[in-house]
Amino acid sequence: MAKTEFSTLPVHLGIIMDGNGRWAKKRGMPRTFGHKAGAEAMRKILRECRELGIRYVTCYAFSTENWSRPPEEVAVLMRLFDEYLDEAHERFDKSRLIFIGDKTPFSDKLREKMLRLEAETADIEGFTIFLAMNYGGRDEIVRAVRRLAQKAAQGEISPDEIDESAVSRELYTYPAPDCDYIIRTSGEQRISNFLMWQGAYSELYFTDTLWPDFDTKALHAALEEYQRRSRRFGGI
């Protein structure tokens, strides 16, 4: 696809990848078929984001609420994560990978792979992927607050020093900047506990396109809309 020049790009893009199940249903296939197609869409979109020069992308892969899905569906998602991690391992020279969310409920094997990939990609600059897995925005804020309370109780900081930047420093995404733009696919118009703190000022983009159909052309359309909005925002 011809390269489009974007004068303004989000530095930090958030993506809520929604609609895999409906995409599969439309084709008379099981929901898990949609997740496989969704994983493929994610690979292509992340590659394009990197090539365009976006610095940080946070993808919502699995929320704290997703555990309540049927066990077979959760198992397929875990297998897809596992495959993605194996393959990310082979091309880790290009992107830094950080898993945001509570890693404790994942299998030992998956958790070890996550930790290893984070360590192996820690020095990569230029493009960072935050993969939100067992992530919840409120949970992230609660953890940050708890950590600050511990520091205060231990006398490391005074309660008066707890301000917005102190909270930001305890978030999973620190030191990445706040999220500029959040894309949500599949027609739902909600934030669903995604980047509750970092998204306080995000521009929001909702599209009816189901996630597996969200291709580079759809990404470009979303980024063109971002340019229009930031031009207005930046006007006198």
Q: How far is the CB of 151 from ligand FPP (least distance, A)?
A: 33
Q: How far is the CB of 70 from ligand FPP (least distance, A)?
A: 11
Q: Which residues of 185-211 are buried (b: 16+ CB within 10 A; e: fewer)?
A: bbeeeebebbbbbbbeebbebbbebbb
Torsion, Cα of 38, 10, 178, 56 (10° steps) = 50
Indicate which single residue of 56, 81, 197, 226 sits in contact with ligand FPP (rule: CB under 6 A).
81
Indicate which single residue of 13, 15, 39, 114 sits in contact with ligand FPP (rule: CB under 6 A).
39
Residue 156, token pair as written in the block: 């490391």
Is position 98 an interface residue for ligand FPP (rule: CB under 6 A)?
Answer: no
Task: From 15-23, 108-116, 153-161, 194-202, give the range in contact with ligand FPP by CB under 6 A.
Answer: 15-23
Beta strands across the sheet bearing 128-135: 96-100, 128-135, 56-63, 12-16, 181-184, 203-206
Rounded CA separation 3/17 (Å): 24
Indicate which single residue of 10, 14, 21, 136 sits in contact with ligand FPP (rule: CB under 6 A).
21
Residue 191, token pair as written in the block: 């934030």
Q: How far is the CB of 30 from ligand FPP (least distance, A)?
A: 11
- Catalytic site residue 66? yes
Query: How many Cβ atoms are within 10 Å of 27's Cβ, its own excluded?
Result: 12
Rounded CA separation 115/151 (Å): 25
CB 225 within 8 A of CB 34: no
Backbone angles phi, psi at 182, to 5 degrees: -120, 125
Is position 49 an interface residue for ligand FPP (rule: CB under 6 A)?
Answer: no
Is position 17 an interface residue for ligand FPP (rule: CB under 6 A)?
Answer: yes
Minimum CB distance to ligand FPP smaller for 188 or for 224: 188
- Catalytic site residue 208? no
Is position 195 an interface residue for ligand FPP (rule: CB under 6 A)?
Answer: no
Site for ligand FPP in 59-78 (CB under 6 A): 61, 66
The catalytic site residues sit at 18, 66
- Which positions lie near ligand FPP, rule CB under 6 A? 17-22, 31, 35, 38-39, 42, 61, 66, 80-81, 84, 131, 186, 211
